[in-house]
Amino acid sequence: MTVLSLYPPTEEERPLQGLYLGLNLHRQAADGDLLIYSNYITSLDGRISLTTERPSQSQVPTDIINRRDWRLYQELAAQADVMITSARYFRQLAKGEAQDLLPVGQEDEYADLRDWRKSAGLRAQPDVLILSNSLDIPVAALKLLQGRRVLICTGNRAEPARGAALQAAGVELFVLDSPDVSGAAVKSVLIEQGYRSAYMIAGPQVHRTLIADRVLDRLFITTRLRLIGGAGFDTIVSGEIGGAADLQLLSLYLDRNVSTSQLFAQYALQQQ
C-alpha cells in the first residue's frame, strides 16, 4: 500500500502505513506548551456528515469511509496524550451510534501502533477530554472508558447536580469562569494537566471553538474524490471563527488505489 507524494513535490511513492506516525506529534510542542490537531474525512463537495432520518442527528457518509483513511486516523490517535471530543459523542455511544470507542484500536492490524505508544513512553490509550456546556453526558457511556483518565470542561452555568453525578462516576470536572467553553481555556487546562499533544475528533462546533481562539495547530484532511450530494450536511467548521483563518500546506499525498482514490493533506493554522 503506497501513496504518491505531491507536496513537497518529490513525486515519490511512500508506504501508507507509517505516513503520519513518523510526524511524532507527541513531541512537537515546546516544554510548557501543547500541540492541538484535528482530522476529518470529507467528500470532494465538502460533506463530512449527512443528516439522518432524525434531523438533529448526522453521521459520516458510508460513501467516503474506507480502511486506508482509518489507518491514518489511528496513527494520529496513537500520537495523542489526550483526545478532545464532545458530549454528543457519548450520547451517540450510549445509543450504539458512535463510529468508534476512541482509538487506538484493539484489532491485530493496529498492534504496531500499540507497541509504538509503549516504546514512546505513552499510556496504552490516550486520556479523554469532553467539552460540554450542558453536561448532558450519559454516565453509562463513560464507564466504557475504564482505565483512562476522563476530564470535562464546562461553563459556569452548568447544573451542579449533573456535575456532581459525573464526578461521582470518576470524572475530573473543570468549571471555567465563562458561560461557554472557549478554546483558550481548554488549552490552558490541558497545559496545566501536563499534556503535550491533543487530538480533536469532535464535530464542526467543537472545531469552531478551537479555531476561533486560534489554538488549533494542525489540520489533517482526507478528501475522498467523490461527489455525494445531500441536502442536509456538515462541513469541517460551523459558526463564526473571528475572521478568516489562513492555513499553510505542509504535505499532500495522492492515494491512487482504484477503489479509494483520495488526497491526504496536512495543514498548519497560521497564528495571528
pTM, two decimals, is: 0.95
Q: Which three cell numbers stand for residue 150?
A: 476522563
* pLDDT at 24 (0 to 100): 96
Grade residue 146 by pLDDT with cuts at 50, 70 and 90: confident
- For residue 85, the model assigns a pLDDT of 94
- Name the band, by pLDDT with cuts 50, 70 and 90, for residue 98: low
Closest Cα partner for 126 from 186, 173, 76? 76
State residue 93's pLDDT score.
Answer: 80
Position with higher pLDDT, 78 vs 54: 78
Over range 44-70, report the average pLDDT: 87
> Measured between alpha carbons, how far is 76 from 198 in angstroms, rounded to an integer?
10
Could you tell me which residue, 238 or 103, shows the higher pLDDT?
A: 238
On the 0-12 / 13-18 / 19+ scale of CB atoms within 10 A, 94 is: middle
Buried b (16+ CB within 10 A) or exposed e, 206-230: bbbbbbbbbbbbbbbbbbbebebee
DSSP 186-245: HHHHHHHTT--EEEE-S-HHHHHHHHHTT---EEEEEEES-----SSEE-S--S--SS--
Domains of the chain plus CATH, in order, are 2-247 (3.40.430.10)
Neighbours of 176 (CB within 10 A): 19
Q: Of all helices (H) and strands (E), which one includes residue 93?
A: helix 87-94
C-alpha cell at 118: 509503549
Indicate if the pLDDT at residue 21 is higher than 70.
yes
Q: Give the Å distances, CA to CA, from 263 to 16, 65, 254.
A: 12, 13, 5
Q: Does residue 94 register a pLDDT over 90?
A: no
Is the per-residue pLDDT at 55 higher than 60? no
Lowest mean pLDDT among 12-21, 66-75, 136-145, 235-244: 136-145
Judge whether 170 and 143 are in contact, CB under 8 Å: no
Please say if the pLDDT value at position 56 is more than 80: no
In this prediction, residue 153 carries a pLDDT of 97
Residue 199 near residue 169, CB atoms below 8 Å: no
Mean pLDDT value across residues 142-152: 89
pLDDT at 43 over 60: yes
Distance CA 132, CA 88 (A): 9
d(CA 171, CA 202): 19
Whether residue 183 is predicted with pLDDT greater than 90 in this model: the reply is yes
Q: Mean pLDDT over all residues of the chain?
A: 93
pLDDT of residue 11: 77
pLDDT confidence bin for 157, thresholds 50/70/90: very high
pLDDT tens profile 216-259:
999 999 999 999 998 899 999 999 999 999 999 999 999 999 89
